[in-house]
A = this chain, B = another copy of it.
């Protein structure tokens, strides 16, 4: 790299953190281990989505507390400084040092990004944490991310999501044909093979579209978030499971040059803060969802499972998309094969102790003996 290029590189690596860069150069050696750093983080979430936004907030809060406010990350809600779906681009181009997002928003640029968030019939939330941290996922994903000048930390999970809200019942595969359904990239590609017409609509615009009947259905997350957006007022049938999000990982994305410039102690603090945020978000959903589900059902929502025939058709369709993408995209293929091998082994084991235990307890729940 020539000097000129180095200068350009340093300049392009970010507009924030000037004070930090200056102190890292100017301060004596003893202070370099705990420099003053000020970053900005753009979230893909409005503050009203308290659990998703809360994961980002927990991350920033822990970093500040652990460093006695020497490392401060200012958090911005969706749209405050960067639009919700463009936060990773803002990290890549250095507009902000960090973002908190769902990586599948980058699906259109390269489907490989989605493997760091949620893919149809992929891992459940617990398996995602295991694969990311101890199953080789972190190295695979961050090797891919590094090509885009990004380093990612696992910082949240929704656990299994619901399949969404429908104005009429979905009993057969025929009911999917021509259905205008609000759903994101990968799942939309799978569903379109079955005749669904996927609709790309931002979170805030879903309700009016469903109310007017411009769309026939919409998926978002699960009881806690969906209740906030009011879908139950305009669609009666709430289907499960969201087979395209058996879990959904949320990540803190950090500009790689900025990440590499951090002292090792600050990197360690970020990693632990990310684990804390991940634990927080999973727990928070687990605490909030049961009460929201009960309120929704009390308000007239009808819970409906997708039939096994529908799930089978979707699974087959998803596998065709996986084969297609794997044939065209080496990054995608390599990471998907790792997830797939992990998935088969993990579900072998999980049906023994975990699932048998849970099944027995769910029988008791239905008997009201818990």
Contact = CB atoms under 8 A, between A and B. Distances in A.
Interface stretch (A9-17, A60-68, A88-96, A186-194): A60-68
A272 B276 contact: yes
A269 B223 CA distance: 33
Given A271-B276, A353-B241, A287 B246 contact: no
Given A279-B275, A279-B279, A348 B290 contact: yes
Chain A's interface size range is 35 or more
B223 A349 contact: yes
Contacts of A352: 162, 240-241, 293, 303
A289 interface: yes
A349 B290 contact: yes
A130 B286 CA distance: 6
Contacts of A279: 129, 133, 275, 278-279
Interface string A122-141: 00111101101111000000
A353 B226 CA distance: 14
25 contacts: A65-B265, A121-B364, A126-B159, A130-B284, A132-B283, A134-B283, A134-B287, A159-B353, A162-B352, A240-B357, A243-B357, A243-B360, A246-B357, A269-B269, A275-B279, A278-B279, A290-B345, A290-B346, A290-B349, A294-B345, A311-B360, A344-B365, A347-B364, A351-B365, A355-B362
- What 4 A-B pairs have minimum CB-CB distances, sorted nearest first? A65-B268, A272-B272, A130-B286, A241-B357
Given A134-B283, A269-B272, 6 more contacts: A134-B280, A135-B287, A275-B278, A276-B276, A294-B345, A350-B358
